[in-house]
Amino acid sequence: MFNRILSGTITTMDPVAATDTSSGIIIQQVFDCLMSYPNALPTVENELAADYTVSDDFTTYTFQLADATYHNGETVTASDFIYAWERLAASSNSRRAYFILDSIGVEHETDDEGNYVPGSLGVEVGETETELVVNLSEPFHDTLEMFAYTSFAALPEGVLGDVEGYDGEMEYTEFASNNPIGAGPFEFAFWEQGTAAAVSKYDDYYGQVAQVDNVRWQVIEDDTARYNYAMNENADYFGLPTAQYDPGLVQVESTDEYGREIGKYGPVRNGKTLNYVGVPTLSIFYVGFNMEKVPKPVRQAFAYVLNQGQMVSEVFKGRGSPAQLFTPPTIFPGGAQAANDLIDSEYPYNADETDIQAAREVMEEAGYGEDNQFEVQWTQYNSNTWEEMASILRDQLASAHINMQIQKADFSTLLERGRNGQLEAYTLGWIADWPAPDNFLQLLNPPQTDTSKQGPISYVNWTAENGDAYQQATDAYQQVVNNPAPTDEAQQIRDEAYVDIETANWEDVAMLPIYNRKDETFWYDTVNIEPFGGMGPSRQKLNNVTLNR
């Protein structure tokens, strides 16, 4: 048994419904896609695709599927992908329909209102039952990378009845909670809501059969309880809460070509010295604002007082780098130097400074004062570290006529309230689905932030009524959508649009970036595991892990 810890609640086992990291970690083990990120490195390799060809115009992809079976013994076929992707596009349970309809742009029909016409996806069975042909409406620059995202995982055709033409072989809740059937290296064992989940080795896996019989995750959201669980050696592999983390105990022995720091950490409380890896993942952690409820002057006041550098060094103990841009610097157009140059020349809120005077002035210009304070509710994940940051902001904002109330919620509740438009200011993070700026900046595409619609990508409700740069952001993202091809010309247009979206966000403060996280994990000598890459630990399959006990 390989024992691990999850710091957030699991919400579902359905690949098209999952939007949280904890669910994704387990789904990654149970389901397979056409492509994968080996050990979460940001370069895709074949998974269920044994081979593929691409047309000269980059609009038709033909995949030859591996000789693989699902955990129920059925063979993986092209028809299964057609069914699974129809669920992604059309199921009421799908949270990522735009990935297939808009981001990649698989051919499809729409009705008079612009809605997807069920059954019209340009995906078909080729010359054999294991040949899948995918037709795009136009070229897309990260097609194969997108096909590695678990929303595109294969499912047995007809297992669920939530799309037209299928009655379903089981009830949805049975599949999503108790009996998910995939073709991954592990089959689902159990999930007890809020407590634990486990998977078991699938002996007939078409790839590398897992070296461990079982993997179990204990769900522990409380920082102290999670630390104690690890120190009592109940977990083999884990993260350390920032409150209990000591940067002075890190001993980096090597840094590889991907920037991963590999070494030791310790000795820790129980006397052991742990194995260590620190990875600058493609991630952004931020404050989001429901712009319908939080006026622009208040959002700007937050931006003036937030000192990202201070938060990273004092609160997060250096476990990341301060961020003023929503795009991680390594994938920003022109790289990290171009990102820094833009911040130095155009960031309007004094980077890495706390400017309470400017915050007070923008609030007073809007009519706020000692007798007319703005009350805002800050909702965050259950974390003592994030609460420490929130407390610093609350105290600073009090001098700028803002009364901030801090509320904590478990992760699933936080997401549900966001989708329902019930948040005001909130904290969340985004880890890359594919390694390009549009994967991050889609969260700042105003039409996709509308919580009155199904499956909003973010919860900020950015409109022309609450944001002066709404049109700039909308037009810029449309430029991205209109120029998706893997060509230098299209890339240049996208790069210019990415910058326009970032500066529009600076103007309206829909989201306030805090930091790009360095993911650090620790493990006892009982485990042999490869370091994960920049796509984050949730993208790492565990079939190559071995145990020394």
pLDDT of residue 503: 99
Q: Taking every pair of C-alpha atoms in the chain, what is the biggest distance, in angstroms?
A: 74
Measure the CA–CA gap between 512 and 517, rounded to whole angstroms: 15
Residue ending a domain, choose from 176, 194, 225: 176
- How far is residue 540's CA from residue 142's CA, in Å, rounded to a whole number? 20
- What pLDDT score does 382 carry? 86
533, part of any domain: no
Q: Is 127 exposed, middle or buried (0-12, 13-18, 19+ CB in 10 A)?
A: exposed
Residue 311 lies in a domain: yes
- From start to end of 71-125, where are the E strands? 123-125
Bridge partner list, 106: 136
Locate the DSSP E strands across 314-366: 320-322
Scored b (16 or more CB within 10 A) or e, 253-278 reads eeeeeeebbeeebbebeeeeebbbbb
Residue 360's domain comprises: 283-517
- The CATH number assigned to the domain holding 323 equals 3.10.105.10
Domain boundary among 158, 176, 194: 176
pLDDT at 411: 87
What is the per-residue pLDDT for 412? 87
Co-location of 24 and 172 in the same domain? yes
Q: What is the mean pLDDT of the chain?
A: 97
- The predicted model scores a pTM of 0.88
* 3-state SS, residue 369: strand
Give pLDDT, residue 534. Answer: 95
Regarding whether 19 and 149 lie in a shared domain, the answer is: yes
Residue that finishes a domain, picked among 139, 160, 176 = 176
Same domain, 293 and 416: yes
Pairing of strands 425-431, 374-381: parallel
CB 265 within 8 A of CB 522: yes
Distance, CA of 49 to CA of 67 (rounded, Å): 10
pLDDT per position in the chain (549 positions), as tens?
999 999 999 999 999 999 999 999 999 999 999 999 999 999 999 999 999 999 999 999 999 999 999 999 999 999 999 999 999 999 999 999 999 999 999 999 999 999 999 999 999 999 999 999 999 999 999 999 999 999 999 999 999 999 999 999 999 999 999 999 999 999 999 999 999 999 999 999 999 999 999 999 999 999 999 999 999 999 999 999 999 999 999 999 999 999 999 999 999 999 999 999 999 999 999 999 999 999 999 999 999 999 999 999 999 999 999 999 999 999 999 999 999 999 999 999 999 899 999 999 999 999 999 999 999 999 998 888 999 999 999 999 999 999 999 999 988 899 999 999 999 999 999 999 999 999 999 999 999 999 999 889 999 999 999 999 999 999 999 999 999 999 999 999 999 999 999 999 999 999 999 999 999 999 999 999 999 999 999 999 999 999 998
Dist CA 384 CA 241 (whole Å): 9
User: Phi and psi of 453, rounded to 5°?
Assistant: -105, 165
Alpha helices, H only, 101-179: 143-146, 172-177
Question: For 381-434, how does the pLDDT look when each residue is reduced to its tens digit (9 = 90+)?
Answer: 888 899 999 999 999 999 999 999 999 998 889 999 999 999 999 999 999 999
The C-alpha atoms of residue 7 and residue 385 are separated, in whole angstroms, by 13
- The 10 Å CB-count burial string (b at 16+, else e) for 512-526 is bbbbbbbbbbbbbee
The answer to whether residue 150 is domain-embedded is: yes
**304 shares a domain with 165:** no
503 and 371 within one domain? yes
Count Cβ atoms below 10 Å from residue 50 Cβ, excluding itself. Answer: 15
Residue located via tokens 């409150």: 243
User: 396 in a domain, yes or no?
Assistant: yes
User: Which pair of structure tokens corresponds to residue 342?
Assistant: 């833009």
Domain-located, residue 370 = yes
**Are residues 440 and 308 both part of a single domain?**
yes
* Joined tokens for residue 46: 């074949």
Evaluated on CA atoms 236, 241, 247, 253, the torsion sign reads: positive
**Tally of domains within the chain:** 2
User: Domain check: are 502 and 359 in the same one?
Assistant: yes
Amino acid sitting at position 429: G
What does the pLDDT read at residue 455?
A: 84
C-alpha torsion sign, points 13, 15, 20, 22: positive
> What is d(CA 458, CA 447) in angstroms, rounded to the nearest whole number?
10
Q: Does some domain include residue 117? A: yes
Task: Give the start-end residues of each E strand in 370-473.
Answer: 374-381, 402-409, 425-431
Contact 143, 137 (CB under 8 A): no
63-102 residues labelled b (16+ CB within 10 A) or e (exposed):
bbbbebbbbeeeebbbbbbbbbbbbbbbbebbbbbbbbbe
> What CATH number should be reported for the domain holding residue 60?
3.90.76.10
Radius of gyration of the chain (CA): 23
Give the Å distances, CA to CA, from 21 to 152, 280, 474.
Answer: 16, 17, 28
Asked, for residue 541, whether it belongs to a domain, the answer is: no
Position 310 in a domain: yes
Q: Give the pLDDT score at 144.
A: 98
172 and 288 housed in the same domain? no
pLDDT of 198:
99
Q: In sequence order, what are the residues at sequence separation of 6 or more whose Cβ sits closer than 8 angstroms to the Cβ of residue 239? A: 5, 7, 519, 520, 521, 522
